[in-house]
């Protein structure tokens, strides 16, 4: 799964040029972005051009009676996404990009708490997760909530020693096609076969990232997984 990611404040200055959209507000950035938060999401609505909007991370299906399960749909398995009612129709016209510069996964240990690892591209450059989005409006007089989810797949050789799943990173040359609602769902799904996941690097980081209140650059500082942790006593 992908339950935490990074979008360093310094990368917001590069955001507009990298994705050819207006940069998101400063609160989109973070070294420890958790589910349930408003996150920078790039969408291309019908008859429009791509734009960056702030969406709730945790998809709320359009047919939901309440938003109580919103945190539980932070990820969608690419292998079964076409079979699930919650994602019906979204692959056809509600694909999105969720920009980031890294993500975390946790590795079980023989003893003690799990060890967090930060996965990123060389130079911590910006990339985009493949995502889906929808709008939820339970009543006509209630403001709609736009929400999103990140597509995941089986982990590759870089991620699998830590976790069995990983988020799908769209190759840069395929980002525009993934967004384009005129591109059929079958063609869009084919883009995911040539993702940028094989370019990932990993490094062990402090268990301080376990606490979502910790949002500073120390969240991605490398540590020796066999040595003492700077965040002694942190639990996940």
**pLDDT for the residue numbered 157:** 96
Specify whether the CB–CB gap between 185 and 78 falls below 8 A. Answer: no
Provide the β-strand partners of residue 77: 152
Q: What is the pLDDT of residues 2-43, one digit of tens each?
A: 999 999 999 999 999 999 999 999 999 999 999 999 999 999
**pLDDT for the residue numbered 232:** 61
**pLDDT for the residue numbered 110:** 87
Provide the β-strand partners of residue 117: 105, 204
**pLDDT for the residue numbered 118:** 98
Domain 5-25+36-100+122-197 has CATH 2.40.160.20: no
DSSP element (H, E) containing 127 = strand 127-136
Q: What is the pLDDT of residues 45-60, one digit of tens each?
A: 988 899 999 999 999 9
Indicate the length of the chain as a whole number.
Answer: 236
Q: How far apart are CA 206 and CA 155, in angstroms?
A: 22
Strand 95-100 vs strand 127-136: parallel, antiparallel, or unpaired? antiparallel
User: Predicted confidence band at 229 (pLDDT cuts at 50, 70, 90)?
Assistant: confident
217 pLDDT above the threshold of 50? yes
Q: In the chain, what is the greatest distance between 2 CA atoms, to the nearest angstrom?
A: 56
Specify whether the CB–CB gap between 116 and 210 falls below 8 A. Answer: yes
Which residue among the candidates 2, 52, 96, 219 is catalytic per the annotation?
Answer: 2
CA distances (Å), origin 57, targets 46, 102, 131, 141, 160: 22, 16, 10, 23, 24
Query: Does 105 participate in catalysis according to the annotation?
Result: yes
Specify whether the CB–CB gap between 191 and 177 falls below 8 A. Answer: yes
Q: How far apart are CA 96 and CA 34, in angstroms?
A: 18
Question: pLDDT averaged over the chain?
Answer: 91
Q: How far apart are CA 191 and CA 194, in angstroms?
A: 6
- Is residue 115 classed as helix, strand or coil in its secondary structure? strand
163 pLDDT above the threshold of 90? yes
Question: Residue with structure tokens 């909530």?
Answer: 145
Provide the β-strand partners of residue 39: 55
- Choose among 95, 86, 82: nearest CA to 45: 95
Q: What is the pLDDT of residues 146-162, one digit of tens each?
A: 999 999 999 999 999 99
Provide the β-strand partners of residue 152: 77, 167
Provide the β-strand partners of residue 51: 43
**pLDDT for the residue numbered 228:** 79
Query: Does 2 participate in catalysis according to the annotation?
Result: yes
Kindly state the average pLDDT of the residues 138-145: 78
Kindly state the average pLDDT of the residues 206-220: 95
DSSP element (H, E) containing 19 = helix 12-19
Which residue among the candidates 53, 105, 175, 219 is catalytic per the annotation?
Answer: 105
Specify whether the CB–CB gap between 215 and 32 falls below 8 A. Answer: yes
Q: What's the whole-model pTM score?
A: 0.93
Question: Domain extents for the chain?
Answer: 5-25+36-100+122-197
Name which of 95-109, 134-148, 159-173, 179-193 the model is least confident about.
134-148
Q: What is the pLDDT of residues 78-104, one digit of tens each?
A: 999 988 888 888 999 999 999 999 999
């Amino acid at each position: 799964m992908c339950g935490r990611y990074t979008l360093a404040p310094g990368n917001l200055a590069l955001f507009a040029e990298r994705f050819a959209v207006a940069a998101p507000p400063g609160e989109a950035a973070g070294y420890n972005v958790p589910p349930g938060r408003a996150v920078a999401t790039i969408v291309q609505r019908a008859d429009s051009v791509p734009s960056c909007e702030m969406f709730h991370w945790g998809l709320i299906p359009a047919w939901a009676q309440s938003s109580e399960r919103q945190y539980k749909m932070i990820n969608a398995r690419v292998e079964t996404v076409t079979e699930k009612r919650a994602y019906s129709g979204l692959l056809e016209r509600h694909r999105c990009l969720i920009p980031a510069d890294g993500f975390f996964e946790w590795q079980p240990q023989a003893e003690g708490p799990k060890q967090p690892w930060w996965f990123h591209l060389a130079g911590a450059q910006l990339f985009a997760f493949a995502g889906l989005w929808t709008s939820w409006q339970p009543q006509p007089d209630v403001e709609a909530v736009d929400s999103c989810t990140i597509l995941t797949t089986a982990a590759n050789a870089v991620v699998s020693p830590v976790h069995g799943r990983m988020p799908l990173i769209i190759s840069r040359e395929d980002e525009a096609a993934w967004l384009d609602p005129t591109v059929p769902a079958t063609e869009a799904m084919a883009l995911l076969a040539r993702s940028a996941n094989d370019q990932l690097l990993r490094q062990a980081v402090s268990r301080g990232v376990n606490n979502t209140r910790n949002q500073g650059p120390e969240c991605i500082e490398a540590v020796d997984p066999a040595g003492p942790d700077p965040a002694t006593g942190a639990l996940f």
